Amino acid sequence: MKLINKKNKGKLAIALTITTSFLITACNTGGNGGKGLKLGTLVPTTGDLSSIGQNMPLAAQLAVDTINACGGVNGEAVTLISEDSQTDPAAGSSAMTKLTEIDGVAGVVGAFASSVSTSILDVAVRNKVMLISPGSTSPAFTDRAKQGDFQGYWARTAPPDTYQAQALAALAKQQGFNNVSTIVINNDYGVGFETAFKEAFQNSGGTIVNANNPVRYDPKAATLDAEASSAFNGGPNAVAGVLYAETGSILLQSAFKQGLTKDVTVLLTDGVYSEEFVNKVGKTPDGISIIAGALGTVPGADGDALSEFTKKWKEKTGGKDVTAFVPHTWDATILLMLAAEAADQNTGEGIKNKIREVSGGPGQEVTDPCEAIELIRNGIDINYQGASGNVDIDENGDVIGSYDVWQVQPDGKLKVIDKVNPAN
């Protein structure tokens, strides 16, 4: 086992108490005025993806509080500054500029929407700030990373949609759907997923009914009646919708009101994995969810640390459920801090240089963040095993994960009914 050549820092433990105030504020604390590590979050607590993003700042703050309670990073307490991306590329870019050029953060957990991550990456690279997304899944980032666009300042703890598209295509075939239409939000996430899904489904022998006339909707359109009609007509067994919650609910309401959803199963993805979305779509007069029976995929969490994280999360949040992408947010935050400790410096460049080593190197496998950072302090290489998965970040910033299969129940509740692993 190699040893990391680290200075004798003579660190003192920093005893910090996690108070209930973080549940209310997500602790937008600002800079601490010292030399300690500063991190940011840039996730959607408002806008089209807020139903999924609202718990993410809590997960990041819990990670920071956990590390601070066992000594901080490089002998100092870590500060977390949280910003709302508003699920809007322009707002995200403005917030990222503030985080990097005013607040002086070394790393950012975010963004979540792929369109927002696209808008902020140039800011991150220009300022040498490490960006780890807990959920931007567009395959376009893999292509750009291969071209060297990000200079190593990009990673994600959720797998790219090249894998999820294969998982959804496999699910469609398992369900006996041979003729499927697609409708997607017209951005990096939607179009990238659509492209990968069509290829995977056609390679499995399926037919994309509207392959020559893909339906891509404008998230700012006043109505989506025409788009719903185009996607559901033509005799598909199922319609694969790559949607965001607010606009996606409007689209599916329109399809229902036009009488298009009868005998057609809706296939969905991670962008709408929330009961809030199902409630927005609405119910029939007899109280049944309009999209009862709809099936979807979402990056699952099956890491070695998931059980312990779930226990900690419930204790500190008063029993909140671990919602989608919360483990991925926790892991992204923990990795930023472990990499800074391994680099012996609180800089984005230092984090970038160590992120792959602590996430997937040949070191000692460890799930507990405090144990992991103590090993690093003692000069021992680690391989962090996360709550979301093993988070082995590759040269393009990607990880491989498994996917949960979920179904909308008649009462609008969501139930995970299976798992699918595209790697198999």
Domain ranges of the chain: 21-159+302-384, 162-299+403-420
Superfamily of domain 162-299+403-420: Response regulator (3.40.50.2300)
HEC sequence for 332-376: HHHHHHHHHHHHCCCCHHHHHHHHHHHHHCCCEEECCHHHHHHHH
Instruction: For residue 44, give the nearest of 2, 88, 1 by alpha carbon.
Output: 88
The pLDDT of residue 222 is 87
CA distances from 71 to 66, 183, 373 (A): 9, 49, 9
Q: Cβ distance 140 to 117 under 8 Å?
A: no
Query: Checking phi first, is residue 243 left (phi over 0); if not, alpha (psi -120 to 50) or beta?
Result: beta
Domain 21-159+302-384 is of which CATH architecture?
A: 3-Layer(aba) Sandwich (3.40)
Q: Cβ distance 136 to 89 under 8 Å?
A: no
Instruction: Enumerate the β-bridge partners of residue 80.
Output: 39
Helix, strand or coil for residue 289? strand
Dihedral sign, Cα of residue 411, residue 413, residue 419, residue 421: positive
Q: Cβ distance 370 to 70 under 8 Å?
A: yes
Q: Going by C-beta distance under 8 Å and a sequence separation of 6 or more, which residues neighbour residue 33? A: none
Structure tokens at 283: 């119910």
The two beta strands, 403-408 and 295-299, are: antiparallel
The pLDDT of residue 423 is 54
Helix, strand or coil for residue 113? coil
The pLDDT of residue 401 is 80
Instruction: For residue 40, give the nearest of 260, 267, 375, 337 by alpha carbon.
Output: 337
The pLDDT of residue 34 is 53
Q: Cβ distance 267 to 217 under 8 Å?
A: no
The pLDDT of residue 104 is 98
User: What single-letter DSSP state applies at residue 330?
Assistant: H
Q: What is the number of residues in the chain?
A: 424
Is 21-159+302-384's fold the same as 162-299+403-420's?
A: yes
Query: Tens-of-pLDDT digits for all 424 residues of the chain?
Result: 333 444 344 333 333 333 333 433 333 333 334 589 999 999 999 999 999 999 999 999 999 999 999 999 999 999 999 999 999 999 999 999 999 999 999 999 999 999 999 999 999 999 999 999 999 999 999 999 999 999 999 999 999 999 999 999 999 999 999 999 999 999 989 999 999 999 999 999 999 999 999 999 998 888 999 999 999 999 999 999 999 999 999 999 999 999 999 999 999 999 999 999 999 999 999 999 999 999 999 999 999 999 999 999 999 999 999 999 999 999 999 999 999 999 999 999 999 999 999 999 999 999 999 999 999 999 999 999 999 999 999 999 999 888 999 999 999 999 999 988 775 5
Q: Cβ distance 396 to 362 under 8 Å?
A: no
